[in-house]
Structure 1
Amino acid sequence: MSPRPGPTFPDWPQFDDTERRALDRALSQGQWWRMGGSEVDSFEREFAAHHGGGHALAVTNGTHALEVALEVMGVGPGTEVIVPAFTFISSSQAAQRIGAVAVPVDVDPDTYNIDVAATAAAITPRTRVIMPVHMAGLMADLDALDKLASDAGARILQDAAHAHGARWQGRRVGELGSIAAFSFQNGKLMTAGEGGAVLFGDPDEYEKAFLRHSCGRPRTDRRYHHQVAGTNMRMNEFSAAVLRAQLSRLDSQIDVREQRWAYLSTLLAQVPGVRPQAGDPRADRNPHYMAMFRLPGWSEERRNLLVDRLVEAGVPAFAGFRAIYRTAAFWQVGAPDESVDAIAARCPHTEAISQDCVWLHHRTLLASEQALAETAAIVADAVAAG
């Protein structure tokens, strides 16, 4: 591959005096945890309003967001949670760590979202929750999944770790009738380094989650009357202050990323052997947490060498997620009574995507069109050399 200068991408996380003022505001209020300060409460109201209503509970990270949501939904020993096989491991571990069995199902080969037919085939009387992951910000087929869940007496938990500000047929996440969990980890679309949130439509479920995230203790308790078994998942005031600032620029960043993905995906599609992640017209606002593409037919080793070449050329590239059932962690607790080979046989698309998928950090989509043209050229050179 001939050398060429690397494109210029903006840094991530992005911040300015808005975050500095927010941190000073949290510092000066004199109370730095949520029970005495105002930043977490304010962030929860603002985040819920931004996503169409409901009640947001801010927590320590996105994995905890999934865990507390699942607990409120009645997930535990004797129950099953259906998850996409192609996702970050937290999607399954959140269910497994609270005693449930995580059941991986295949994904669509073009959108990388959970496959509806595969989900339907996996439902049993023990299925309590179906957990679609909105991969790279592209919302899964919630219409079909909602019907499946309703018919089965199960519920939907949206893993929206990639989907801040997303919409499905004009409706924001808080307007879709199901619980959603978000992450604010350092690479996410808005971040305080770590953090998470759960968006509830039902105020009673929000209150149940509040108790569980605060050691089972009511917010007005002064005598240690812990009402339920819980743990400490409380977000601190400094993180909430930063997230309020991050939320203020989320929409403008999504606007840029949507425009840039339309441009970059067109260029990538012209590279022989490259297939960009497909869209869905019903998902009419996609925040594009990742710029993803496949190289169908490539081996995992060949894909990994390509990622190395892109990184050496200055492109923030990563290998796609490993199939969750092909990690040691998946089998330690709460795994289905199946072999790896049996799961792999019913997840052929996950098998392929895990080997041939590449993703670029979303900061690439905040760069100029010139930088994206250079990126596409580097990808073309790297693929040709591969």
Structure 2
Amino acid sequence: MSADPSTLAVHGGEPTFDDQVLPPWPQHDDAEEKALLDVLSSGAWGSTHGDVVATFEQEFAEYQQAKHAICLNNGTLAIAAALRAAGVGLGDEVIVPPYTFIATASAALFIGAVPVFADVDPVTHLLDPQATEAAITPRTKAVIVVHLAGRPVDMDAFTAIGHRHGLTIVEDCAQAHGAEYRGRRIGAIGDLGTFSFQSSKNITAGEGGAVVTDDPDLAQALYSLVNVGRVPGGGWYQHTTVGYNLRLTEFQAAILRAQLTRHPHQQQTREHNATILTDLLGEADGIQVAPPDPAVTAHGRHLFMFRVPALGVAGTRDAVVSALAAEGLRAASSGYVPLHRHEALDREITELTGRLGQPYPRTELPVAEQVCTDTIWLPQRYLLGTEEQTRQIAAAIVKVVAAHESLPRPGA
């Protein structure tokens, strides 16, 4: 007698899916291999002697519709360099969302600035413009907006806030390669945009990052920060400012050039499957997926996120994630812990503000608190399969959510 297909795998039923059948990530072919061997045989392995990094910078700037791109070693330090290039420094406040990766806040701390958390929108999980404006003080110097999961924030609202208050707007685009807002690629819509090429990202070299901007002065400041204070065309020992050494290698840029060429096709696949998944989950009771926004003319599709508010009420979201893993969605995730409750950040902010004699900028963030209890993610690899595989992923999610009351509750 066959097992009841409605029985959860975690309760002994048959798994609905096997994510091992999905395409692997990262992906590569002969293009990456040839590019790496070309750099290897050239003997010019660093960007100070080769031209592969410089070529990729031009190509990536064009791809993101920016005038300048400066590559560096990772996305975290891309944020720190962008802030410092904009003149943010010791004791300045930088408004950031609490629902994001820790790097968005820690990058500010690296340069002695104080991250200030403002609440997020309950539908999109993105930084809320009204909450941001309410968090501005005389010490505020910049706002970091995060295009979370690949969905652009309301750049009309945030550029207006920047102009109104004289603030630098930094776009954290780590999850949003190729995303568009009102027909323009994100990154240089604000003052600066930062990208990551870490292993999970939709364009990857294992590690790496970039900053894009339309401002030539900011571009030169970034070049100097990345290149130990040098200026373009200057001498080897000509250090006009104090800078870091954050250079990307020629090997990484060689991989990134190949990755960039296949990104448009991969994004078409992700978008197609994300639309299917959105439609199927939207038909299920209790599952909330952010609806399309006409201003978002291209979504980066790094994550597929959805909320199930009942799981937050019951405290069973993590149990559902475990049940999804048993169904075959092993990479399903509970997502972020809100950064305003992150112990390491709290210690750093407390110590920094104490030394500076500034108030600790604590705020109430009820929306972030809520979405951190009922949101579930799928990684971008889950959007690279076939239509049938996408339907099986949706079926697994619907099956588990429909039976969530049978899962153990905390303290039960």
Shared fold (TM-score greater than 0.5)? yes
Partners of 1:175 and 1:100 in 2: CA distance: 23
Partners of 2:328 and 2:35 in 1: CA distance: 33
Which deviates more from structure 2 when the two are superposed, residues 228-237 or residues 33-42?
Answer: 228-237
Amino acid at match of 2:403: A
Structure 1 counterpart of 2:394? 376
Structure 2 counterpart of 1:302? 316
Structure 2 counterpart of 1:149? 162
Which deviates more from structure 2 when the two are superposed, residues 283-292 or residues 309-318?
Answer: 309-318
Structure 2 counterpart of 1:263? 276
Partners of 1:369 and 1:306 in 2: CA distance: 24
Between the aligned residues of both structures, percent identity stands at: 39
The answer on 1:45 being equivalent to 2:45 is no
Structure 1 counterpart of 2:349? 334
Structure 2 counterpart of 1:282? 295
Correspondence list, 1:102-181, <5 A: 102-173=115-186, 176-181=189-194
Structure 1 runs (4+) greater than 6 angstroms displaced = none
Deviation at 1:89, TM superposition (A): 0.7
TM-score by length of 2: 0.89
Partners of 1:71 and 1:98 in 2: CA distance: 7
The answer on 1:231 being equivalent to 2:231 is no
Native 8 Å contact 2:273 2:383 kept in 1: yes
CA, structure 1 residues 309+263, in 2 after alignment: closer, same or farther (shift >3 Å)? same
Cα deviation, 1:215-261, whole Å, max 9, x if unaligned, reads 22345555533322222110001110000001001111111111111
- Secondary structure of the structure 2 residue equivalent to 1:317: coil
The answer on 1:202 being equivalent to 2:220 is no
Partners of 1:301 and 1:96 in 2: CA distance: 33
Partners of 2:188 and 2:204 in 1: CA distance: 23
Amino acid at match of 2:15: R
Native 8 Å contact 1:61 1:194 kept in 2: yes
Correspondence list, 1:348-367, <5 A: 348-367=366-385
Amino acid at match of 1:4: P
Deviation at 1:77, TM superposition (A): 1.1
Structure 2 counterpart of 1:182? 195
TM-score by length of 1: 0.95
Native 8 Å contact 1:184 1:192 kept in 2: yes
Native 8 Å contact 2:15 2:326 kept in 1: no
Deviation at 1:214, TM superposition (A): 1.7
- Secondary structure of the structure 2 residue equivalent to 1:130: strand
Query: Unaligned regions of 5+ residues in structure 2, if any?
Result: 1-7, 354-358, 405-412
Amino acid at match of 1:33: G
Deviation at 1:9, TM superposition (A): 1.3
Partners of 1:201 and 1:334 in 2: CA distance: 32
Query: Unaligned regions of 5+ residues in structure 1, if any?
Result: none
Correspondence list, 1:40-119, <5 A: 40-119=53-132
Native 8 Å contact 1:138 1:279 kept in 2: no
Native 8 Å contact 1:136 1:290 kept in 2: yes
